[in-house]
Chains A and B, each alone.
Chain A
Amino acid sequence: MSSASDVSFLSPRSATLLVAPLGALLILFFAYPLILTVWQSFYEGGFTLRAYAELATSTLFYKVLRTTFVISFTATLVSLLIGYPVALHLSRQSPRKRTFYLMLVMLPFWTSILVKSFALTVLLGHSGIVNQALGFISGGTIQFPMVFNRFGAIVGMINYLLPFMILSILGSLLAQDGNLARAAEVMGAGPFRIFRKVTLPLSMPGVIAGIIINFTLSIGMYITPALLGGRQDMMIANLIDFYTRQTLDWPMASAISVVLLLISGALVTILGRVRGGAGVMGVA
């Protein structure tokens, strides 16, 4: 029986006071713009569903939406598949070594996403370093087209997304009680079984948080796919940008935003219900 678990350290009043400044900021700078956006999608001198009706019949919208999902899903999946072993590797290091490796993971954050995109074309391009190395090894016969196609778009995206995935999985790996894995080992479980039965299930909150963060970041990205992707890799954010800045059709831009919001909201709700998803929101 713990002495404090049933006791709130802060009264609701002082807690409200502490949350209020942030709440005010978010109402002004987050909720209000969003409400404006939703309003914008329905209001053109009067209430109308024109934008939504136009969206419903737009093949461009459907195609771009599909592309966005395929790309975001792939990028998220790949960064999960790569990110998990990396997080595992990090979690097994001594704290000192881990800090060093974490710096390697964080380094991409220090470089502007614009610059990095160009750097990736230098690396992966036709005359890029990787292809030159391949050409050298194979005597000039092997070359892979790695940029200006979907591969390039996804490589660019996961370069940006991976640290988010790694950090959120690492968090839940480090929070695990090492004794559990040891206990499983004592009971005769092999490393695979321990991973499958103990480590993996316990890290699910981090995995789900990582998936949510990666996916929502992905569906909002467009500069990287535009710089590194091929002609088909147009993202929904591109379309929003198109309506916002080029055709000034803000109701359309807003309607697309609303659809995007609903989709990411649904995703968060669904994933949040998966076991362990309660921790997704980070704080509670």
Chain B
Amino acid sequence: MTRPLRTAAVFFVPVVAWACYLFLLLPSVIVFPISFGTGGEFEFPPRAFSLELYRQFFTDAAWWGAMTQSLMIALMTALATTVLGLPAAYALQRASLPGAGLINGFIMGPLLVPVIVLGLGLYLQFAPWNLLNRDVSLFLSHTMLAVPFMMISVGASLRHLDPTLENAALIMGASKPAIFFKVVLPQLKAGIAAGALFAFLISFDEVIVAYFVTGPETQTLPVKMYSAMRWELSPVIAAASTLVTVFSILLAIGIMMLQRKEKQQ
């Protein structure tokens, strides 16, 4: 290999990586200044800076109501995804179930079906069962969408988990539930946190299924933004989005600090 080629190779990976980080970040970052605009229009750079959009957001119950609704649905989704997905992932890893491959494929299914197909199907199903406009229908639908991510994330952690640890605990006299909570769970923390975060974000940003399933009391922020788009592109969504971004970053930093503290112990 010639020297210039080698030099190019050395720089190739970091340069591409940094360009990519920039590309991923910019659209999110640019929303920040937009959110401090004067209101009325989506503009960059704003003509003047103000907190007008935030004032509009917090004084309009439809906005912050949708935001709290979204937060609640997303939290419930993250919780349900963990509660339902974790035992299943563990069972599939630690038992030789007949047809485990098929079960796996089935669980991964929601990842492989275009969401609009599911949106209509769910609507057709919920309408006669009088399940529309219920928080429970929405967060369970979102759970269905998010479960594959939990399975992938926890599955990766489980594969690194040495099964002899569980056998060792068993021989030492621990019950299987105790083993799950004291031996398995602590070691899956990172995987669960990642999976739950994914579930949270998927629910928080999901438009299409939510559009079909929600009603007036269950309207989520993305649906509110989406329907607002029909008549106006209210720059309030920039403020809403900034709030969400800041909130999520704080959440992520919190999780990171928690993990670090745990490591130091």
Contacts and interface: CB of A to CB of B under 8 A. Distances in A.
- Complex: A in contact with B (CB within 8 Å): yes
Interface of A: 2-5, 7-12, 14-19, 21-23, 25-26, 28-34, 36-37, 40, 82-83, 85-86, 88-90, 92, 99, 101, 103-116, 118-120, 122-123, 129, 159, 162-163, 166, 168, 171, 175, 190-192, 209, 212-213, 216, 219-220, 222-223, 236-237, 240-241, 244, 250, 253-254, 257, 260-261, 264-265, 268, 281-284
A118 to B, nearest CB: 6
A27 B124 CA distance: 15
Given A10-B95, A32-B121, A282-B108, 11 more contacts: A5-B163, A10-B90, A14-B91, A23-B88, A23-B103, A101-B21, A107-B249, A112-B205, A113-B222, A116-B27, A282-B104
A22 B150 CA distance: 12
Interface string B100-111: 110111111111
A88 B108 CA distance: 26
Contact of B252 (A14, A103, A216): A103
Interface residues on B, range: 35 or more
A32 to B, nearest CB: 6
Contacts of B222: 112-114
Contact of A89 (B13, B125, B158, B238): B13
A86 B19 CA distance: 9
Contacts of B14: 89
Contact of B249 (A89, A110, A253): A110
29 contacts: A8-B95, A19-B87, A22-B84, A29-B143, A31-B109, A86-B17, A99-B256, A104-B24, A105-B24, A107-B24, A110-B244, A111-B27, A111-B241, A111-B245, A112-B244, A116-B27, A116-B28, A120-B27, A159-B27, A190-B1, A216-B113, A220-B113, A220-B116, A236-B114, A241-B116, A254-B120, A260-B114, A282-B104, A284-B100
B152 A282 contact: yes
Contacts of B156: 171, 175, 282
Interface stretch (B47-55, B56-64, B225-233): B225-233
Contacts, number: 289
B24 A16 contact: no
Interface in B64-115: 83-85, 87-98, 100-101, 103-115
B114 A220 contact: yes
Nearest to B110: A30
Contacts of B132: none
B30 A284 contact: no
A190 B207 CA distance: 48
Contacts of B94: 8-10, 15
Contacts of B155: 282-283
Given A18-B88, A26-B106, A110-B249, A33 B118 contact: yes
Secondary structure call for the A interface: helix
A110 B92 CA distance: 31
Contacts of A19: 87-88, 91-92, 97, 103
A261 to B, nearest CB: 6
Interface in B217-265: 221-222, 225-226, 229, 233, 237-238, 240-241, 244-245, 248-249, 252, 256
A120 B44 CA distance: 11
A283 B104 CA distance: 7
A222 B252 contact: no
Contacts of B83: 21
Contacts of A222: 116
B34 interface: yes
A7 B171 CA distance: 14
A166 B20 CA distance: 10
Contact of B93 (A112, A166, A283): A283
3 closest A-B pairs by beta carbon, nearest first, are A33-B121, A220-B114, A15-B95
B174 interface: no
Contact of B125 (A32, A85, A106, A223): A32
Contacts of B245: 107, 110-111
B26 interface: yes
A110 B107 contact: no
Contact of A107 (B28, B103, B225): B28
A253 B118 CA distance: 12
A18 B249 contact: no
